Amino acid sequence: MAKEIVVSGVRPTGELHLGNYLGAIKQFVELQDKYKTFFFIADLHAITEPQDPKKLGRQILEVAALYLACGLDPKKTTLFIQSQISEHLELSHILGTLTPVGELNRMTQYKEKIQEGQPANFGLFAYPVLMAADILVYNADAVPVGEDQRQHLEFARTIARKFNSRYGKMFREPKALTQKTGARLMGLDDPSKKMSKSAKSPDNYIGLLDNSDEIRRKIRVAVTDSGREIKYDSDRKPAISNLLSIYSLIANFPIPELEKKYKDRGYAEFKKDLGEVLVQKLSSIQKQYRALAKNQQKIKKILEDGAKEARKTAGKTMSEVRRKIGFLG
């Protein structure tokens, strides 16, 4: 029986951080053993905001190296650069003809980005259409998403239904794969806002390439709640709940067990131990990353091979799409 298909990507902007790892990449590594996986570096999505071309190229290779250092295996998964598969853009245009402007106007993330000061360009406005194409061009069964991407995935499901209704059965309606804990890690400096590489304060997140002293410092200065009790309660104690989520995910240690372990012990001791756990895990990733970063030709070859593999599946999908909508072969 053929494995179900899973698709996802991460934009190569800013530095990858702990939220990216625990909320996405760690899950990707686990999924590659269970599914047929396509994981891409979303450079087309990255240019919805201005990018330095030379820096963008470096960041694409950096993200690829970090993906590999975190455990993605080119023998198990297809890793590639989004812009190298032209079928993404072709399908995006076709899906765009089925998309009412009013539906895009309702997208929460677009409104949030504009409020944050991002330029209100067409690429950002049509982001959900390209994201739907990213998913549907591989006819994905499932997509790992955080809570902030659920609306976009639901849009992809809706547009798949519209295409199938108009042109005949073609696309599956992909389901969401979400983690119960860690799908949306919050900022270390403000637990009411998502951990983000675009945050104004560097103390908002821990970068995957932060050195050991910086990791310990950021955990030490992370905000906590009133009182001393180390208890998971996202409403009453959002800051310590966020740190418990990080500890649980990085150490594969259930939150209830952590609550027992640190019962009657203070925040300082808890944060000291969390800092050491993070240093140990990220040091291992950084060691792998440094070794990979020395051989950019190897990374480029992995991405080229991945693009060839992705193009086979995307090309097959688009041949059928073109036939269904009446384009000449």
- How confident is the model at residue 94, as a pLDDT? 98
**Number of other residues whose CB lies within 10 A of the CB of residue 23:** 25
**Given pLDDT bands bounded at 50, 70 and 90, which one contains residue 183?**
low
Question: Would the pLDDT of 246 be above 90?
Answer: yes
Domain map (residue ranges) of the chain: 5-178+295-325, 202-290
Question: Would the pLDDT of 255 be above 60?
Answer: yes
294 included as an active-site residue: no
Q: What is the rounded distance in angstroms from the CA atom of residue 159 to the CA atom of residue 91? A: 11
Summarised one tens digit per residue, pLDDT across range 53-64 is 989 999 999 999
CATH class of domain segment(s) 5-178+295-325 = alpha beta
Mean pLDDT across the stretch 245-265? 91
Summarised one tens digit per residue, pLDDT across range 111-140 is 888 887 777 889 888 999 999 999 999 999
Question: Would the pLDDT of 16 be above 80?
Answer: yes
197 included as an active-site residue: yes
Q: Is 144 helix (H, G, I), strand (E, B) or coil?
A: strand
Q: What is the rounded distance in angstroms from the CA atom of residue 137 to the CA atom of residue 7? A: 10
Percentage with pLDDT > 90 across the chain = 71
Q: For residue 81, list its beta bridge partners.
A: 41
CB within 8 Å of 8: residues ≥ 6 apart:
24, 28, 38, 39, 40, 143, 144, 145
Percentage with pLDDT > 70 across the chain = 97
Tokens of 81: 């650069």
> Buried b vs exposed e over 42-79: b needs ≥16 C-beta within 10 Å?
bbbbbbbbebeeeeeeebbbbbbbbbbbbbbebeebbb
193 included as an active-site residue: no
289 closest CA partner among 30, 68, 22: 68
- How confident is the model at residue 185, as a pLDDT? 85
**Given pLDDT bands bounded at 50, 70 and 90, which one contains residue 181?**
low
- The residue from 76, 162, 175, 197 that is catalytic is 197
**Number of other residues whose CB lies within 10 A of the CB of residue 318:** 20
* CATH (one of 3.40.50.10490, 3.10.450.750, 3.50.50.60, 1.10.240.10) for 202-290: 1.10.240.10
321 closest CA partner among 174, 167, 93: 167
- The residue from 26, 36, 113, 271 that is catalytic is 113
- The residue from 36, 194, 237, 271 that is catalytic is 194
**Given pLDDT bands bounded at 50, 70 and 90, which one contains residue 235?**
confident
Mean pLDDT across the stretch 299-318? 98
**Given pLDDT bands bounded at 50, 70 and 90, which one contains residue 1?**
low
Q: Which of 114-128, 279-293, 305-319 has the lowest mean pLDDT?
A: 114-128
Helix (H) or strand (E) holding 99: none
**Given pLDDT bands bounded at 50, 70 and 90, which one contains residue 182?**
low
Q: What is the rounded distance in angstroms from the CA atom of residue 191 to the CA atom of residue 113? A: 19
Question: Would the pLDDT of 15 be above 90?
Answer: no
- How confident is the model at residue 108, as a pLDDT? 82
- What is the SS3 string spanning 20-84? HHHHHHHHHHHHCCCCEEEEEECHHHHCCCCCCHHHHHHHHHHHHHHHHHHCCCCCCEEEEEHHH
Mean pLDDT (the chain) is 91
CA atoms within 13 A on the CB side of 52: 5
